[in-house]
Every structure is written in structure tokens, then in C-alpha cells.
């Protein structure tokens, strides 16, 4: 359990952020929201006013003149581009902050150098210097270096920034595998919705230095009154569910959604039946119909009454049946959409992204 209530002024920018999260969490927000600043303040690398409490231990409480320096917080920071020590080999980078297992602490990959090197596929890199590593390799080493210090909380700053899609997917898989194996809770800072969902169950939405929403990802991201402006969480429908069955003939897989309902996504044999998945679809991919659609190719249609209509930055956001759709003002006028009106929301199977499988 991590809770923080921090205040920090930096030139013209002011960060005032308070939230409490348990389990893996993501701070999600557009660039310039203050995400990295918040991460540094939690790590003690920037001096912020206020409190940080981790698992019952007070890391800072400036009202009571308590402020632990970063070396006494035991937080494992994985910076955006790795920031490996250029004068040390990969092996010495990894061992730089290594801590032994404390009495009574559970065994795990932590502290166990060989197991970690294997889990993160670092063996071929050990004798090399950071300048000869690729971006993805450097991040893997940085992750290993942080984990070997046996942190109480792993802090990740934009872990896939600058990596192509395939490398980003592998990087996230490495983070998940390592953090799971160590049972190390993590806090990731990102402007990518899929990345937040892939790593975290709880989400803190940050915008212009303020927390605009916090809580379980599924709840926060589908809640009404999401942040205004170019926020990554703004336009997405996100659902959690369980893979129910596969129909290779029809080319679809069915996912039972938490809270009822089924969504059909393109057939993917790699998703085992019964496994948990997170699905996302952008609001602009959702169709709105005022009559029950017939002869429509979209496989996912839900009916509901319009809960809200919001016009923002030249788009109209319509919420109904638990989904949000983004329309042009002209389309909304033509359909005479109004709160309370019964509509059908339709999504093509191929519009869904399986973010966590």
C-alpha cells in the first residue's frame, strides 16, 4: 500500500497530488502532467512537501520534519532510458545496489543474481559496457539493477518509451515476469493507456499536476467525467474479462466481461480459456445507432439509454450501456441524441485491442 500527498512548485508548474494505491499501479497522464516529477518526489530525488507512506512506513512527513533521503527509502527506480553507469560493465551495474536477503524475507528471484540474469536474458551482456547496448537491453539491465537492490516498491518511468511495438511488448513482459516472481509491487508512470493496463490494476490519472481520478483501472477509466483535454484515458473503453471460449471456424474468441456481457474479439489461440484479459477500444471506434441495427457486420452490439452527452474540443462524447462513443457534432445533431434516449452501441471485433493476455 502506497499513499502520498505531495506538493512541489517548479518554476511555473505546481504539483499537488494525493492518492493511495494498493497493488500494481500506474500514474497515467499526458506529457507535461508532472508524472516524472511525481515519481522523483516519491523516490526522494526531488524535495517535495507532504507525506509518502509505504506499507505503513513513513518515508516523509514534512509537517513533522521527517524526510528520508533516497538511499534510505529502498525504492527501485528504473529511469526512462535506463541511465546505466557508463563507467561500469553490465555486471557491475547490476551488482551496484545489490542487497542481501533480510532474515524472514521470502525467497525469490531477488538477490539471486543468476536467476535474475536468466529471467531477464542478460547473460550475453554481462561483460559489456552500457554504450554498446541497445535501448531495450539498457532498460532490461536497469530493471535488473533496481530489482537486485531488493526494493520495497519498483518505480518505472515510461518503460517502453522509444521502443518499437514488438520490443515494447517484450519489455512489458519482462517487467511483469520479474515483478511477479519477486512479488515486488510496482508503480509505473506512462502516457500510454495500454502500458498502464498491461502492468497495473490500479490507475492514478494525473493532469496538469493534479490527480483527477484514482482507483481500480476498470472503474476509473470507464467512469463519467473523465479528465478533459488530450488525456490518454480520455477516449478509451476499457474492460476486464475472462476468455470464455474460442470459435476458430467463426474466427472469434468470446470474452466474458466483468459485470456481465460478452465481447467477441478476433480469434487468438494464444489466449487460454479461463485466463484473464484486459480489452480496450478507442471511443472513435464505437458506432451509435438510434434504431436496432440489422444487417450490420459489427459483432458487438449493446443497447442502453444515453447517460450523458458531452461536447469537448470539437467532439461529442456519448455514454450509453457502459460504453463511450466519440462522434462529430454533425452526427450527434442528425441523430437527435439526448440523455435518456435508447441507442445501440456497436463495435467491430477487430477494433478491440487485447492489452493484457
Partner 1 sequence: MDAGPWRLILFTVEVAAASTALVFVPGVLVAWALSRRGWPGRALVEALVTVPLVVPPTAVGLALLLVLGPAGPVGGWLRETLGWEIAFTPAAVVLACAVVSFPLLVRQARSALEEVDPGLLGVARTLGRGPLACFVEVHAPLAWRGILAGAVLAFARALGEFGATILVAGNIPGRTQTLALAIFQRVQVGREREALLLAGISTAIAFATLLWVELLTRGRERELSR
- Cβ proximity to partner 1: between 126 and 301 the closer is 126
CB of 206 to partner 1, least distance (A): 20
- Of the pair 9, 296, the CB lying nearest partner 1 is at 9
Between 149 and 184, whose beta carbon lies closer to partner 1? 149
CB of 100 to partner 1, least distance (A): 12
CB-nearer residue toward partner 1: 19 or 146: 146
* Helices (H), ranges, 44-96: 90-95
Nearer to partner 1, 40 or 253 (CB): 40
Shortest spacing between CB 210 and partner 1, in angstroms: 25
Binding positions for partner 1, rule: CB under 8 A: 40, 43-45, 69-71, 73-77, 79, 83, 85-87, 96-97, 99, 131, 145-146, 149
d(CA 21, CA 50): 17
Q: CB of residue 41 vs partner 1: minimum separation in angstroms?
A: 12
- The Cα–Cα gap between 108 and 9 comes to 40
- Tell me how far CA of residue 356 lies from CA of 81, 199, 278, in angstroms: 24, 8, 5
Cα 312 from Cα 26, distance rounded (Å): 25
What cell was used for 323? 460504453
CB of 69 to partner 1, least distance (A): 7
Residue matched to cell numbers 531477488: 110
Q: C-beta of 151: minimal distance to partner 1 in Å?
A: 8
**Residue 8 vs 203, nearer CB to partner 1:** 8
CA dihedral 281, 259, 197, 29 (to 10 degrees): 80
How many Cα atoms are found within 13 Å in the side-chain-facing hemisphere of 321? 20
Nearer to partner 1, 47 or 245 (CB): 47
Q: Which CB, 13 or 96, lies closer to partner 1?
A: 96
Long-range contacts at 334-342 (CB < 8 A, ≥ 24 apart): 335/288, 335/290, 336/290, 337/288, 337/290, 337/306, 337/309, 338/306, 338/309, 339/305, 339/306, 339/307, 339/308, 339/309, 340/305, 340/306, 341/290, 341/305, 341/306, 342/290, 342/303, 342/304, 342/305, 342/306
SS3 173: helix
Least distance from partner 1 to the Cβ atom of residue 79, Å: 6
Give the three cell numbers for residue 299.
459483432
CA distances to 302, 326, 345 from 348, rounded to whole Å, are 12, 15, 10
Query: Min. distance of Cβ 90 from partner 1 in angstroms?
Result: 15
Amino acid at each position: 500500500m502506497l499513499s502520498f500527498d505531495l506538493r512541489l512548485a517548479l518554476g511555473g508548474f505546481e504539483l499537488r497530488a494525493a492518492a493511495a494505491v494498493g497493488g500494481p499501479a500506474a500514474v497515467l497522464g499526458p506529457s507535461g502532467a508532472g508524472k516524472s516529477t511525481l515519481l522523483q518526489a516519491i523516490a526522494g530525488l526531488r524535495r517535495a512537501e507532504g507525506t509518502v507512506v509505504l506499507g505503513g512506513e513513513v518515508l516523509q512527513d514534512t509537517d513533522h520534519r521527517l524526510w528520508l533521503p533516497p538511499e534510505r527509502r529502498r525504492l527501485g527506480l528504473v529511469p526512462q532510458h535506463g541511465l546505466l553507469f557508463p563507467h561500469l560493465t553490465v555486471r557491475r551495474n547490476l551488482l551496484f545496489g545489490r542487497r542481501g536477503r533480510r532474515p524472514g524475507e521470502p525467497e525469490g528471484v531477488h538477490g539471486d543474481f543468476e536467476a535474475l540474469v536468466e529471467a531477464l536474458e542478460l547473460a550475453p551482456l554481462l561483460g559489456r559496457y552500457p554504450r554498446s547496448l541497445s535501448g531495450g537491453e539498457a532498460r532490461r539491465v536497469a530493471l535488473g539493477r533496481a530489482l537486485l537492490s531488493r526494493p520495497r516498491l519498483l518505480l518505472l518511468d515510461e518503460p517502453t518509451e522509444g521502443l518499437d511495438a514488438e520490443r515494447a511488448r517484450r519489455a512489458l513482459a519482462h517487467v511483469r515476469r520479474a515483478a511477479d516472481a519477486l512479488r515486488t509491487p510496482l508503480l509505473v508512470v506512462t502516457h500510454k493507456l495500454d502500458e498502464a493496463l498491461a502492468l497495473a490494476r490500479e490507475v492514478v490519472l494525473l493532469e496538469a499536476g493534479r490527480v483527477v481520478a484514482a482507483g481500480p483501472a476498470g472503474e476509473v477509466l470507464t467512469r463519467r467525467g473523465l479528465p478533459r483535454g488530450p488525456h490518454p484515458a480520455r477516449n478509451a473503453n476499457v474492460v476486464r474479462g475472462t476468455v470464455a471460449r474460442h470459435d476458430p471456424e467463426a474466427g472469434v474468441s468470446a470474452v466474458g466481461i466483468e459485470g456481465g456481457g460478452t465481447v467477441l474479439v478476433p480469434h487468438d489461440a494464444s489466449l487460454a480459456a479461463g485466463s484473464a484479459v484486459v480489452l480496450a477500444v478507442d471511443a472513435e471506434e464505437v458506432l451509435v445507432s438510434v434504431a436496432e441495427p440489422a444487417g450490420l457486420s459489427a459483432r458487438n452490439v449493446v443497447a442502453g439509454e444515453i447517460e450523458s452527452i458531452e461536447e469537448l474540443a470539437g467532439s461529442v462524447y456519448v455514454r450509453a450501456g457502459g460504453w463511450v462513443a466519440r462522434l462529430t457534432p454533425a452526427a450527434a445533431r442528425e441523430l437527435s441524441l439526448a440523455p435518456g434516449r435508447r441507442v445501440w452501441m456497436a463495435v467491430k471485433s477487430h477494433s478491440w485491442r487485447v492489452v493484457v493476455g
